[in-house]
Amino acid sequence: MASRAFEWPQRALPLPIAPFSDLKRWLTRPLVGALSLVLLAACQPVRPVDRLVVAGRSRIDSVDPAATFSIGAMQLLSALGDPLYAISPDGELQPRLAVAPPRLSADRLTAWVPLRQGVRFHDGSRFDAAAMVFTLERFLAIGKLSYLLGDRIASVRASGPYELELRLRRPFTALPQLLTAVNLTPLSPTAYRAHGRRFLNERFVGTGPYRLTFFNDQQQRLEPFADYWGPKPANSGIDMVNLSNSTALYGALRSGEVDVLLSTSLEGDQQLSLHRLAAAGSLREGRGPALEIGYLTLLSDQPPLKDPRLRRALAFGLDRELISQRVSHGLRPSLRELVPPTIPGSDPQAWPAFDPAQARELFRQAGYCNGRRLSVPLTFRSNIPSDRLFALTWKEQLARDFGDCVQLEISGMESTTAYRQLGKGAFTAILLEWMGDFPDADNYLIPLLGCEQAEGNRCLKGASAASGSFWTQPGLEQDLKRSESLEGEERVALLRRLQQQVAQASPYIPVWLVAPRAWARPNLQTPRFDGAGRVVFSRLQKEHHP
Partner 1 sequence: MSRRSQLLRYGASRLLLGPVMLWLIATLVFLLLRLAPGDPIDALLGIRAPEEARAALRQQLGLDLPLLTQYGQFLVGLLRGDLGASLTNQTPVAQVISQSLPASLELGVCALLLAAVLGLAVGFSGIARPDGKLDLAGRLYGIGTYALPPFWAAMVVQLVFAVWLGWLPVGGRFPVTLLPPTGSGFYLFDSLRAGNWEQFSGTVRHLVLPASTLGVLLSGIFDNALRLNLRRALRSDYVEAARSRGLSETRVVLRHALPNALLPVLTISGITVASLIGGALLIEVTYSWPGIAFRLQEAIAQRDYPLVQGIVVVVAALVVVVSVVVDLLVALLDPRIRF
Minimum distance between the CB of residue 43 and partner 1, rounded to whole angstroms?
Answer: 5
d(C-alpha 338, C-alpha 354), whole Å: 17
**Binding range to partner 1, per CB under 8 A, among 132-140, 304-312, 418-426, 490-498:** 418-426
Is-contact 450 463, C-beta < 8 A? yes
Q: Does 417 bind partner 1 (CB under 8 A)?
A: yes
Q: Which of 356, 330, 262, 335 is nearest to 510 (CA)?
A: 335
Residues 385-414 close enough to bind partner 1 by CB under 8 A: 414
Residues 327-386 close enough to bind partner 1 by CB under 8 A: 383
Secondary structure class of 500 (helix, strand, coil): helix
Tell whether the torsion through CA atoms of 487, 490, 494 and 500 is positive or negative.
Answer: positive
Binder among 1, 2, 3, 9 for partner 1 (CB under 8 A): 9
Residues contacting 367, CB < 8 A, separation 6+: none
**Binding range to partner 1, per CB under 8 A, among 5-13, 76-84, 339-347, 368-376:** 5-13
**Residue 242 or 342: which CB sits closer to partner 1?**
242
Binder among 199, 392, 497, 525 for partner 1 (CB under 8 A): 199
**Residue 14 or 367: which CB sits closer to partner 1?**
14
Binder among 7, 227, 487, 490 for partner 1 (CB under 8 A): 7
Minimum distance between the CB of residue 99 and partner 1, rounded to whole angstroms?
Answer: 32
**Residue 410 or 435: which CB sits closer to partner 1?**
435
**Residue 206 or 462: which CB sits closer to partner 1?**
462
Minimum distance between the CB of residue 541 and partner 1, rounded to whole angstroms?
Answer: 17
**Residue 240 or 536: which CB sits closer to partner 1?**
240
Is-contact 124 90, C-beta < 8 A? no
**Residue 220 or 324: which CB sits closer to partner 1?**
220
Q: Does 154 bind partner 1 (CB under 8 A)?
A: no
Residues 447-486 close enough to bind partner 1 by CB under 8 A: 447, 461, 463, 466-467
Binder among 50, 123, 151, 487 for partner 1 (CB under 8 A): 151
Residue by residue, what is the 3-state secondary structure of 372-392? CCEEEEEEEECCCHHHHHHHH
d(C-alpha 494, C-alpha 519), whole Å: 39
Q: Does 194 bind partner 1 (CB under 8 A)?
A: no
Residues 91-120 close enough to bind partner 1 by CB under 8 A: none
Residues 503-522 close enough to bind partner 1 by CB under 8 A: none
Residues 38-67 close enough to bind partner 1 by CB under 8 A: 38, 40-45, 47-48, 51, 53, 59, 61-62, 64, 67
Q: Does 299 bind partner 1 (CB under 8 A)?
A: no
**Residue 242 or 428: which CB sits closer to partner 1?**
242
**Binding range to partner 1, per CB under 8 A, among 2-10, 77-85, 281-289, 371-379:** 2-10
The kind and range of the H/E element at 363 are helix 356-365
Q: What angle do CA 504, 508, 512 make, to 5 degrees?
A: 110
Residues 236-255 close enough to bind partner 1 by CB under 8 A: 239-245, 247-252, 254-255
**Residue 77 or 359: which CB sits closer to partner 1?**
77
Residues 20-39 close enough to bind partner 1 by CB under 8 A: 20, 22-23, 26-27, 30, 37-38
* 171: DSSP letter: -
Minimum distance between the CB of residue 469 and partner 1, rounded to whole angstroms?
Answer: 12
CB atoms within 10 A of CB 377: 15
Q: Is the preceding omega at residue 304 within 30 degrees of 0, hence cis?
A: yes
Look at the chain and count its residues: 546
Minimum distance between the CB of residue 449 and partner 1, rounded to whole angstroms?
Answer: 12
Q: Does 8 bind partner 1 (CB under 8 A)?
A: yes
CB atoms within 10 A of CB 525: 15
**Residue 405 or 520: which CB sits closer to partner 1?**
520
**How many helices (H) does the chain have, and how many strands (E)?**
17, 20
Minimum distance between the CB of residue 369 and partner 1, rounded to whole angstroms?
Answer: 35
Burial of 245 (0-12, 13-18, 19+ CB in 10 A): exposed
Sheet of 260-262: strand order equals: 210-215, 219-224, 238-242, 52-56, 260-262, 517-520, 284-287
Residue-wise DSSP of 382-445 = TT-HHHHHHHHHHHHHHHHHHTTTEEEEEEEE-HHHHHHHHTTT--SEEEEEEE-SSS-THHHH
